[in-house]
Structure 1
Amino acid sequence: MSGFVFSEKPIEIASGDGVTVTDTNGTEYLDFGASYACTPVGHCHPEVVDAATSQLEDLMYVQASYPHAARTALYEQLSEAGPVDVDNVWLCNSGTEANEAALKFARHATGREKIVATKQGFHGRTMGALATTWKTKYKQGFEPLAGGVEFVDYGDIDAMREAIGEETAAVIIEPLQGEGGINPVSTEYLQAVRVATATNGTAMILDEIQTGLGRTGSLWAADNHRVVPDILTTAKGLGSGLPIGATLCRDWIAENCGNHGSTFSGGPVVSAAAGATLDVIEREGLPEHAAEVGAYLREELEERLGDDIREVRGDGLMIGIEVKRGSNRLLRDLAIDHQILALPAGRTVLRLLPPLTIEREHADAVVGAIEEVVE
C-alpha cells in the first residue's frame, strides 16, 4: 500500500513555478499553504534549481565527516545568519530531527532531565519531540514517550517561572505557535522566559521550524522579540522543499552536546540548495517583503471579513483566520471553486503560509475568495 500514512487529497500536483502549482489536469492553483512554509523563495526558484542541479552532477553524497565545499559554506552562512552567539551549526534532515537534537544537546549540556513545553505547542513526531508536543491525537498509540516533560499554558509567564527550576534542562517554545492555531505571544513574555531560563541555568530552545527564514517579517522571529536563545531550530523552507534542518547552538551547548550523529547530515545537494535559498532570501529582502505584504493581507482580511469571522492573527506571512465553523469545508471550497490552496491549524483556523514572494494582487485574490467561501 502506497501513501498509507497520509490521507491524500484529490489533487495530484505535477509542477510548480513561483507562487503557483499545477495539477495533472493542467489546473493552476495559488499556493497559500500547500507546501507548509517550505517554499519561501517560491516553487522551483531558478537559482536554487541551478545550485542543486550543478551539485548533483558533481557529487550526490559524501558523509559529513569528510569536508565538502557546499556543506562548509552552509555552516558559515547559518553561523552568520543566526542570532548573535548562536553560531554553532548541526545539520540534519527535518524539523523533528532538529528539535530532537536540541533536546538531546540541552540535556547533555546541563546534566538535567526535565523539559518544559507549552500547551498547544507542536515540535515533531519522533519520540522525544513528540513528548514535547501537546495534542493527544499525535501521541495515541505511541506512549509511553520520553519522560520528564511538563506542559504550561502558552503566554503565562507565572506558570513558566513556576515550572523552571534547578532540575530543568530546557524550555522548548515556538515564538508563534503554528499547528496549535497561529497563536502569538508578547515580546514581554518571551523576554521573561529568557530571563527565567538564564537565571536557572536552563537552555532556552526556540523552535523556528515554521517561523524562521523570513516568514514572520524578520529572518528569525527571535529578532522581532529581541530574544537570543541558547538553541534555535530551523527546517521547512531552508532547502526550498528539499529535506534539511539545522540546530544552531551557543558555545556552552555545543561544547558539551554529547554523542550525536546522522548519516545524511548536510548532504552536498541539499546543502547547495539551502545555501542558494539563504542567498535569495537575503538578496531579495524577503523578510521585509513578508512584513509589508503580510500586514496588508491581515488588514484586508480584518476589514472585509469583519463579523463573519472571530479573529485574524499572526505575523508577516504566517497568518491564521479563526472562523465560526469547521475549516475543512472552507479549505475544500477554496481549492475547488477558487483554485487556492491553504491549510488548517486546528478545526476552526485557516492557516496561510504562502511563498514570501507573493504580491498584493495575490493577497487581494485570496481575500476575495475567502470572503466568498465564508459568506
Structure 2
Amino acid sequence: MVQNEYRDMCDTYLMRNFSRDILITRGKGARVWDDEDNEYIDCVAGIAVCSTGHCHPKVAEAICRQAQELIHISNLFYIPGQAQLAKRIVEKSGLKGGRVFFSNSGSEAVEAAVKLARVRTGKKRFIAFRSGFHGRTYGALSLTHKEDYRLPFTPLPYECEFVKYGDLEGLKAVMDETVAAVIIEPVQGEAGVIPAPEGFMEDVRKVCNENDALMIVDEVQTGFGRTGTWFAFQHSTAKPDIITMAKGIASGFPMGGIVAREGLEFLPGEHGGTFNGGPLACAAAHATIDVLEEIIGDIERKGARFRDGLAAYNPRQRGLMIGITLGDRCAPVKQYCEEHGVLVNCTSGNLRLVPPLVITDEEIDQAVRVINEALNS
C-alpha cells in the first residue's frame, strides 16, 4: 500500500485531530524507516518515549516471552512482575517507604496524583505553572496552562491557579492552606525544554511545607534517565510527595504510574483500572530499566555533545532534552531536517530534541550537522 492510499484511508476512517505526513514502518535503535525505505535519525523518539531506542532486543524479547505465558489477568489477582517493578521504581525514586500505583499513560498518572491529593488532604485547590503541560484528559487538563487546549472544554473539574514558572513570590501570593497540591515539571517539555531555575524546586518544596500542601512532580517526560538521572527532580535536593511517570518507563509499551511517599496512598476502592500494570507492561518496563542501568551514566555526556554542536543557537539542555527557540522558523527547519534524514519536533515555537537514550555519537554528530544546515538555510 503506497503512502497516498494509506493517507486517504486515515482521512476516511480516523478522526483528523493529528497532523502528520510520514508513514514510519520500522525502527532500530535511534533510526527509523518510512514506507519508501527512507532512513531517518529519530530525535523525537515517540516524544521522549522510546528510551531504549526502537525495538531494543532485550525489550522485544521480554514482551514476546511474557506474551507466550500471560497477556492479561487484571488487578483482581496478583500480577507477575508487578511487585518487583514497583520495588525497583521506589528504589530509583529515593522515596523511602513509597508506594506505586500503575496506570496506562501520563495523563492517567496525573489523574491519579490529583485524586490522591484531593482524597488525602480533603482540599480542592491546585496550583500549576504557566506553559506547563500535564495531559489532555479532563482532570489533567485542569492543570495544563495552554488556553488552546483548555478553553474549548471549560468548565474543567479542578480549581487551579497558574503562576509564572520560576516566580517564587507569585507562588507565595496565591498559596494558602486551602491548596491541596502544587504540580511542577522539573523541566517544562511542551514549553520547549525549560529547566526550573536554580533552587526553585527547593523553594516550591518549602512553600508547600509551610502551607501543608503536597508537592507533585510531573516526571512523565523527564523520568527514567531522560535528564541523566532516574528522575529530573534528583538534580535538586527537593523531595516530592508524589511523582508522576510514563513515556520512557517501558520503551513504548503503554504504561504510566505514580510513586507516593510513605503514608500517602489510595485505600481500597478509591482508584483502579482494568489494564493498569499488566504483565506485558511490567515485562517491558523491567527490560527497559535493565537497559537504562547500563547507559544512564553516559546520558549527560551525550546531551552535552548535542549542546556543544548547536552552541551557536543557545540551546537549553538537560541530559538528552534539548530545546532551541525559533518562533516561526521552527516549521521550515523541521521540514528541512525531515528531507535530509533527521526527525525533530516543534513545540510552542521551539525546536525540541528528545532522541532515544541509546543514540550514538556518530548519530548525534550527523543530526547536529543537518540541524545546523537547517538553521543556517
TM-score by length of 2: 0.93
Is the aligned partner of 1:330 residue 2:355? no
* Structure 1 contact 109–252 (Cα < 8 Å) conserved: no
Q: Provide the residue aligned with 1:57 in structure 2.
A: 68
Offset of 1:255 from its aligned partner?
A: 5.9
Within 2, Cα distance between the matches of 1:335 and 1:97? 32
Residue 293 of structure 1 corresponds to 302
Q: Which amino acid aligns with 2:299?
A: A
Task: Check if 1:313 corresponds to 2:316.
Answer: yes
> Which runs of 5 or more residues in structure 2 are unaligned?
1-11
Look up the match of 1:275. Answer: 286
- Name whichever of 114-123 and 177-186 sits farther off: 177-186
1:285 counterpart letter in structure 2: I
* Corresponding residue SS for 1:80: helix
What is the one-letter code of the residue matched to 1:95? G
- Deviation at 1:326? 2.7
Alignment correspondent of 2:200: 189
CA contact under 8 A between 1:214 and 1:290: conserved in structure 2?
yes
Moved more, 355-364 or 173-182: 355-364
Distance 2:16 2:198 in 1: 38
Q: Please state whether the residue corresponding to 2:180 is helix, strand or coil.
A: strand
Cα gap change, 1:298 to 1:324, in 2 (>3 Å):
same
Contact persistence 2:116–2:266 (CA under 8 A): no
Q: Provide the C-alpha distance between the structure 2 equivalents of 1:317 and 1:213, rounded to a whole number of angstroms.
A: 11
Task: Report % sequence identity.
Answer: 38
> 1:89·1:248 contact (CA, 8 Å) conserved in 2?
yes
What's the counterpart of residue 254 of structure 2? 243
Deviations 1:262-281 (A, max 9, x none): 11111111111011101111
Deviation (angstroms), 1:330: 0.9
Say which of 345, 348, 351 aligns to 1:346.
348
**Aligned pair in 2 of structure 1 residues 59, 258: CA closer, same or farther (>3 Å)?**
closer
Match in the other structure for 1:68: 79
Q: 1:239 to 1:193 in 2, by over 3 A?
A: same
Q: How far 1:258 moved relative to its partner?
A: 7.1
Distance 1:186 1:86, change over 3 A: farther
For residues 256 and 160 of structure 1, the distance between their equivalents in structure 2, rounded to whole angstroms, comes to 31
Return the alpha-carbon distance in structure 1 between the equivalents of residues 284 and 128 of structure 2: 32
Comparing 155-164 with 88-97, which one deviates more in the overlay?
155-164
* CA apart distance, 1:249: 0.2
CA deviations on 1:251-310 (whole Å, 9 max, x unpaired) are: 23216697111111111111110111011111x132x211011012102211xxx2xx4x
Q: Alpha-carbon deviations, 1:115-143, whole Å to 9, x = none?
A: 00000000000101001000011123211
Q: Which amino acid in the other structure matches residue 159 of structure 1?
A: G
Q: CA deviation at 1:5?
A: 4.3
Which stretch shifts more, 311-320 or 322-331? 322-331
1:43-73 C-alpha deviation (Å, 9 max, x unpaired)? 1011111111111111110111310222222
Q: Does 1:355 align with 2:365?
A: no
The whole-number CA distance in structure 1 between the counterparts of 2:68 and 2:282 is: 14
The one-letter code of the counterpart of 1:340 is V
Distance 2:352 2:157 in 1: 30
1:87 is displaced (CA, Å) by 2.1
Q: Counterpart of 2:306 in structure 1: which amino acid?
A: L
Distance 1:262 1:356 in 2: 30
Could you list the structure 1 runs, at least 4 aligned residues long, displaced by more than 4 angstroms after superposition.
255-258
Secondary structure of the structure 1 residue equivalent to 2:307: helix
Residue 27 of structure 2 corresponds to residue 23 of structure 1: no
C-alpha RMSD of matched pairs (Å) = 1.5
For 1:145, the aligned partner's letter is: L
Size of the alignment, in residue pairs?
Answer: 365
- Letter matched to residue 107 of structure 2: T
1:10 deviation in Å?
Answer: 2.1
- CA spacing shift, 1:194–1:63, aligned 2, 3 Å: same
Counterpart code for 1:318: M
Amino acid at match of 2:342: I
In terms of mean alpha carbon deviation, does 213-222 or 84-93 score higher? Answer: 84-93
Q: C-alpha distance in 1, partners of 2:239/2:13? A: 43
CA distance in 1, matches of 2:178, 2:267: 17
Ranges in structure 1 where 5+ consecutive residues have no aligned partner: none
Q: CA deviation at 1:324?
A: 5.5
